[in-house]
């Protein structure tokens, strides 16, 4: 008789007992005595494993060992789903048949015991998804990605795919990864003796994108409200717990939005995402709260329940200057805020998420709309507890002459961005948008401490093994 396979999640939620079931997954632990063996099976559908009870008459321990029913083995279990006698679970499976697909040698399988450090697990990125911690992180990551699309779809935004290989350097930032098919040995040179990218695959120098924003603006000027959600790449050598060389960014861009609208959207969006995780990922969040960060659930609920504090950069500088705390980097109007300053504002002063606006133009990108005073731009950074900057955005300069002026001042060549300027020549309109670093969001929601632990295969300086 054939039984349909159930997921562990479905079985644990099932009210229908005393029926034949089939489950497939990986053995997390096997323990017991000469009368009975308990096998915990996890299939990734939930943080919880299902307890399989194997009676020693049918399944003596020696037989289980010989067949490889050990930690890490992939198995199929047939049996009867029954109410559990023991503590810790409501249902369990009385095994009638155990099949091993693939054993895992107990002497060499690295996940033999619990309690490995996160640093060690990073070195076995091919196996760490099988731990409770990474299972929880990866399910949360999925839920948040899904919620991003859900939110935008429900609110009339269109998902646009912006290029990953780009011929433009979005923010004038130098730290990009070059994409080339020119030979490593003796590449063609131009008259100045430099590599001649005119002879490269695309007929020009190309890089991996650092942001989809500029192309997002193209789409917003036609579809109204759009967003991108894709990988971005930065070759900056920032070996921090908040930076990756390859990360995913969510970038909405909206025609006819000003800075106010942009802030309202960012706040509503972030709250929606956190609320979604609180509702849909309770078990995983409970696990992470218990094991990593006792304050996690409280902090998430707090973000959902409270208004973000909004103030200007200038007001923030005043607060920081009169702060009792000594900072490593001094604060003065015109300097970029360091993460110690951001975290002081969020964690000590306001004790809630903060949106800083109207930064000095010299520390922000060329495309941000100039304020009337000519000194500041309509920028906004959203700062989160434990994270610092989670969102950076702005209202964009829609005036052609002002934009050209800013590009000149910041040495952004016009000929590379003629199409971007065309958006200001033909049917220009006020518009705004922002970038949310997806891993910074996952970091916040999972309560993990290092961004390398919230993406399956982290890319950072000197690391691209998996």
Query: What is the footprint of ligand ATP within residues 337-366 (CB under 6 A)?
Result: none
Which residue lies nearest ligand ATP, judged by its C-beta? 437
**Burial class (CB within 10 angstroms; exposed 0-12, middle 13-18, buried 19+) of 442:** buried
Considering only residues 72, 392, 433, 447, which one is a binding residue for ligand ATP as defined by CB under 6 A?
A: 392
User: Which of these, 296, 436, 335, lies nearest to 380 by C-alpha position?
Assistant: 436
Name the segment binding ligand ATP (CB under 6 A); options: 75-83, 108-116, 385-393, 410-418: 385-393
The entry of ligand ATP, Mn ion, none near residue 234 (CB within 5 to 8 angstroms by kind) is: ligand ATP
Residue number of the CB atom closest to Mn ion: 392
What is the rounded CA–CA span in Å between residue 387 and residue 335? 20
* Binding to ligand ATP in span 209-248, by CB under 6 A: 234, 242-244, 247
- Which tokens is 194 given? 């430099």
Structure tokens at 127: 């196996």
Specify the residue, 26 or 367, whose C-beta has the smaller distance to ligand ATP: 367
Residue 106: closest CA among 27, 191, 204, 183: 27
Contact 368, 378 (CB under 8 A): yes
Q: Which stretch binds ligand ATP (CB under 6 A): 47-55, 193-201, 327-335, 390-398?
A: 390-398
- Nearer to Mn ion by Cβ, of 68 and 392: the residue is 392
Q: Which does 25 bind (CB under 5 to 8 A by kind): Mn ion, ligand ATP, none?
A: none
Among 140, 254, 380, 391, binds ligand ATP (CB under 6 A): 391
Please list every residue from 186 through 205 that binds ligand ATP, using CB under 6 A: none
| Interface of this chain with Mn ion, residues 378 to 417, rule: CB under 5 A | 392
Nearest to 446 by CA among 339, 299, 346: 299
- Is 383 a binding residue for ligand ATP by CB under 6 A? The answer is no
**Is residue 281 a contact residue for ligand ATP (CB under 6 A)?**
no
Query: Regarding beta strands 50-55 and 91-102, do their DSSP bridges make them parallel or antiparallel, or are they unpaired?
Result: parallel
The alpha carbon torsion through 420, 425, 428, 433 (nearest 10 deg) reads 10
Contact flag: residue 396 with ligand ATP (CB under 6 A): no
Tokens 């000590």: give the residue. Answer: 348
Q: Interface with ligand ATP by CB under 6 A: which residues?
A: 234, 242-244, 247, 249, 389-392, 435, 437, 439-440
């Amino acid at each position: 008789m054939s039984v349909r396979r159930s997921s562990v999640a479905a079985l644990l939620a099932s009210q229908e007992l005393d029926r034949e079931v089939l489950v497939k997954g990986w053995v997390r632990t096997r323990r017991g005595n000469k009368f009975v063996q308990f096998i915990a099976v996890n299939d990734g559908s939930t943080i919880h494993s299902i307890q399989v009870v194997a009676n020693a008459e049918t399944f003596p321990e020696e037989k289980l060992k010989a067949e490889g029913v050990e930690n890490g083995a992939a198995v199929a279990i047939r049996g009867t789903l029954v109410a559990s006698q023991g503590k810790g679970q409501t249902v369990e499976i009385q095994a009638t048949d155990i099949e091993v697909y693939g054993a895992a040698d107990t002497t060499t399988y690295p996940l033999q015991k619990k309690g490995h450090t996160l640093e060690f697990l990073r070195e076995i990125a091919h196996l760490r998804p099988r731990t409770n911690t990474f299972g929880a992180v990866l399910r949360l990551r999925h839920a948040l990605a899904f919620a991003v699309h859900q939110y935008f779809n429900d609110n009339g935004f269109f998902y646009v795919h912006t290029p990953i290989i780009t011929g433009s350097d979005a923010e004038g930032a130098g730290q990009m990864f070059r994409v080339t098919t020119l030979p490593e040995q003796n590449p063609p040179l131009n008259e100045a003796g430099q590599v001649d990218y005119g002879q490269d695959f695309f007929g020009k120098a190309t890089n991996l994108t650092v942001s989809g924003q500029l192309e997002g603006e193209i789409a917003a000027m036609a579809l109204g409200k759009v967003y991108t959600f894709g990988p971005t790449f930065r070759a900056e050598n920032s070996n921090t717990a908040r930076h990756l060389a390859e990360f995913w960014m969510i970038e909405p861009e909206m025609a006819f939005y000003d800075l106010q609208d942009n802030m309202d959207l960012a706040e509503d969006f972030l709250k929606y995402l956190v609320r979604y995780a609180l509702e849909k990922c309770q078990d995983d969040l409970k696990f992470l709260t218990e094991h990593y960060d006792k304050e996690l659930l409280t902090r998430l609920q707090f973000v959902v329940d409270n208004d973000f504090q909004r103030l200007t950069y200038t007001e923030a500088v005043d607060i920081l200057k009169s702060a009792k705390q000594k900072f490593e980097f001094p604060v003065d109007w015109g300097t970029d805020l360091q993460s110690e300053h951001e975290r002081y504002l969020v964690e000590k002063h306001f004790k809630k998420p903060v949106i800083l606006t109207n930064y000095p133009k010299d520390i922000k990108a060329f495309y941000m709309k100039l304020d009337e005073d000519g000194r500041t731009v309509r920028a906004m950074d959203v700062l989160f507890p434990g994270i610092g900057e989670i969102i950076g955005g702005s209202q964009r300069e829609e005036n052609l002459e002002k934009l050209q002026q800013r590009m000149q001042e910041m040495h952004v060549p016009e000929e590379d961005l003629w199409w971007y300027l065309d958006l200001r020549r033909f049917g220009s309109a006020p518009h705004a948008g922002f970038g949310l670093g997806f891993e910074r969001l996952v970091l916040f929601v999972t309560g993990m401490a290092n961004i390398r632990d919230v993406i399956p295969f982290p890319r950072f300086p000197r690391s691209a093994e998996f």
